[in-house]
Amino acid sequence: MMKLYRVLFIFLILQSCGHKTDKVLPEERTLTEAVYSSAIIQPDSLYQVYAIVSGILDANLVEEGDLVSKNDALLQIINSTPKINSENAKLALNLAQENYAGNAAILSSIEDEITAATLTYKNDSINYYRQKNLWNQHIGSKVQYDTKKLNYELASNQLKLLHNKYNRTKNELHTAVKQAQNNYQSSSIMNLDFTVESKINGKVYALYKEPGEIVTTMEPLASIGSAHSFIIELLVDEVDIVKIIVDQDVILNLDAYDDVIFKGKISKIYPKKDERNQTFKVEANFIEQPKILYPGLSGEANIIIAEKEKVLTLPKAYIIEGNKVKTEDGIVTIETGLENMNYIEILSGLSKDTYVYKQN
């Protein structure tokens, strides 16, 4: 019987504890509202290196971790076709230059024709003027005079035609030289494209291909970025992005640095949403950068969007339906302001002397 009374007593105690309601008074505190974000560390000016021609990777001219300067050679690609094209273009240029210089048969044969036509012209000219003088003295026949005149005119026209032909051919050959030069320069530039160069002063962070592998214009070959300057990449949920502006403070904790807190400022907001994870990318700069950083270091960040001192607050667990609280007088509607993970600002509807009860 005593055992039954003891069990009943314990049950009554537990039941009375279950009906006990937690209560708190609103407190004044400094309240900071922040937006949570995941964080990744990346080198500034990081970019993927691509080839603008296809081929086979002959050699990586640098190693991961090497410091490089702008225009330093990074990789060498081989492809025999552009080399052959360049050699053919060089041969075509040499031929065009020889033709234009007059050493080949094209212009020299026209020059020979001009020389022969000049002699004919001079001979026909002498004969014509001699016959003309005789005709003026009424010596000779009209047929002889007309024949000499016709030969002279034909010789004159033939000489003019040959001079025009020479000039026209020379201009065509000059144009051919220019075209050959352009083709050769184009093929030479294409050969240079098989040496991939750095676009910035920085560090080689990754090489994606080994010598002997096929290289295309669609696959990155290397990753290069700043050697000393790093940025903080933040992924902000789409429901919070409208609260973010440039120059807001960032509080950052990196997994590699345990409990060390770093500070930064928002520097850039990317306007396009990533449809895969429904987030926006935001960049921030360190106010004081750690001495040692590596690409890909991860952590968590809070972007400070507002901060107030001496505001009346309640724990968020005591808020009902977003804008109500339970008091001794029943359910009261309140106006709220800033909030963080634990507390919310009370703007009106509640005094600091009013107890608030947690809703069961």
Query: What would the pLDDT profile of 223-233 be if each residue is shown by its tens digit?
Result: 999 999 999 99
- Confidence bin at 180 (pLDDT 50/70/90): confident
110 and 257 fall within a common domain: no
Segment 162-172 shows an average pLDDT of 81
Rg (alpha carbons) of the chain, rounded to whole number: 46
Name the more confident of 40 and 11: 40
Range of the domain at 65: 47-77+194-223
Segment 91-103 shows an average pLDDT of 66
65 and 214 fall within a common domain: yes
279 and 144 fall within a common domain: no
Task: Report pTM.
Answer: 0.57
234 and 347 fall within a common domain: yes
Name the more confident of 136 and 286: 286
Query: What would the pLDDT profile of 57-84 be if each residue is shown by its tens digit?
Result: 989 999 999 999 999 999 998 865 556 5
Query: What would the pLDDT profile of 200-240 be if each residue is shown by its tens digit?
Result: 999 999 999 999 999 988 999 999 999 999 999 999 999 99
> Which spans in 59-208 are helix H?
80-101, 105-136, 142-192
Q: Which of 54-68, 72-86, 113-127, 305-319 shows the lowest mean pLDDT across its residues? A: 72-86
pLDDT at 17 over 60: no
Per-residue pLDDT, 253: 93
182 and 91 fall within a common domain: yes
Q: Count of domains in the chain? A: 3
Q: Which of 172, 192, 212 corresponds to the end of one domain?
A: 192
111 and 158 fall within a common domain: yes
246 and 340 fall within a common domain: yes
Q: Is residue 12 part of a domain?
A: no
131 and 145 fall within a common domain: yes
Name the more confident of 40 and 327: 40
- Contact call for residues 105 and 185 (beta carbons, < 8 A): no
Please tell me the distance from the alpha carbon of residue 26 to that of residue 350, in angstroms, as a whole number: 8
Please tell me the distance from the alpha carbon of residue 34 to that of residue 29, in angstroms, as a whole number: 16
Q: Is residue 11 part of a domain?
A: no
Q: Which CATH number do you get for residue 257?
A: 2.40.30.170
Mean pLDDT computed over every residue of the chain: 83
- Contact call for residues 221 and 61 (beta carbons, < 8 A): no
Segment 313-337 shows an average pLDDT of 87
Query: What would the pLDDT profile of 141-156 be if each residue is shown by its tens digit?
Result: 888 888 888 888 888 8
Segment 251-266 shows an average pLDDT of 92
Q: Given strand 23-24, what is the order of strands in its sheet?
A: 23-24, 356-357, 324-327, 330-333
72 and 175 fall within a common domain: no
132 and 178 fall within a common domain: yes
357 and 260 fall within a common domain: yes
